């Protein structure tokens, strides 16, 4: 299975990778492009090839070269950053409008749920306009990258929905 993972924060990406690496024996390899990483995750008898595309403006035009044959998109939202949630929504919908991603399932991690002012999953769902994605199979999961809470539940959903395709 091939997935694209998108989050703009390097620190959050590092934490997610660290939490997934230990129990899942994550293998990390750098691609020859700065800002792009590929990782293979073995989970529940499925081998996920995860393409981590950086959020820098200068490399966004390159993203579409990694969309072909993608079966799922993991989109991580900073639930505590109310100022950037509209930007996150626009970026998500821009990606989902790409022809190569039309059949990809969507997993949204509503991260930083440990913070007192974090938006909950229902609010993130509303702010990202997820209910408007009527033709897309999607799931949102509250997570905390520092503790690992919610990560495995999200991966369970992803593995079940890829296995059923």
pTM of this structure: 0.76
By C-alpha distance, which of 91, 74, 98, 68 is closest to 4? 74
- Cα first-last separation, the chain: 11
Question: Is 129 within 8 Å of 89 (Cβ atoms)?
Answer: yes
Question: CA 75, CA 110: separation in Å to the nearest integer?
Answer: 9
How would you classify residue 65: left for phi > 0, otherwise alpha for psi between -120 and 50, otherwise beta? alpha
Q: Mind listing the pLDDT tens digit for each residue in 57-97?
A: 665 666 666 677 788 888 888 999 999 899 889 988 988 99
Ligand-binding annotation for 111, yes or no, is yes
Query: In the chain, what are the domain boundaries?
Result: 2-163
Ligand-binding annotation for 25, yes or no, is no
The CATH number of 2-163, from 1.10.600.10, 1.10.10.60, 3.40.50.300, 3.30.70.120, is: 3.40.50.300
Which helix (H) or strand (E) element contains residue 52? strand 46-53
Question: CA 13, CA 52: separation in Å to the nearest integer?
Answer: 9
Name residues of the chain where pLDDT drops below 50.
Answer: 2, 8, 10-11, 22-34
**Catalytic one among 56, 68, 71, 135?**
56
71 is catalytic: no
Ligand-binding annotation for 112, yes or no, is yes
By C-alpha distance, which of 86, 74, 136 is closest to 111? 74
pLDDT at 55: 57
Radius of gyration of the chain (CA): 15
């Amino acid at each position: 299975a091939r997935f694209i993972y998108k989050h703009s924060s390097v620190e959050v990406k590092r934490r997610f990778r660290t939490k997934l690496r230990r129990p899942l024996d994550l293998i990390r390899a750098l691609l020859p492009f700065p800002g792009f990483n590929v990782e293979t995750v073995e989970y529940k008898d499925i081998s996920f090839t995860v393409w981590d595309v950086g959020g820098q403006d200068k490399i966004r035009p390159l993203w579409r070269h990694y969309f072909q044959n993608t079966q799922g998109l993991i989109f991580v939202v900073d639930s505590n950053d109310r100022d950037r949630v509209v930007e996150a929504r626009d970026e998500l919908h821009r990606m989902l409008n790409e022809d190569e991603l039309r059949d990809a399932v969507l997993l949204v991690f509503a991260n930083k749920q440990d913070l007192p002012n974090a938006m909950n999953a229902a609010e993130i769902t509303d702010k990202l306009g997820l209910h408007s994605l009527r033709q897309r199979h999607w799931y949102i999961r509250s997570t905390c990258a520092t503790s690992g809470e919610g990560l495995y539940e999200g991966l369970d959903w992803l593995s079940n929905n890829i296995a059923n395709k």
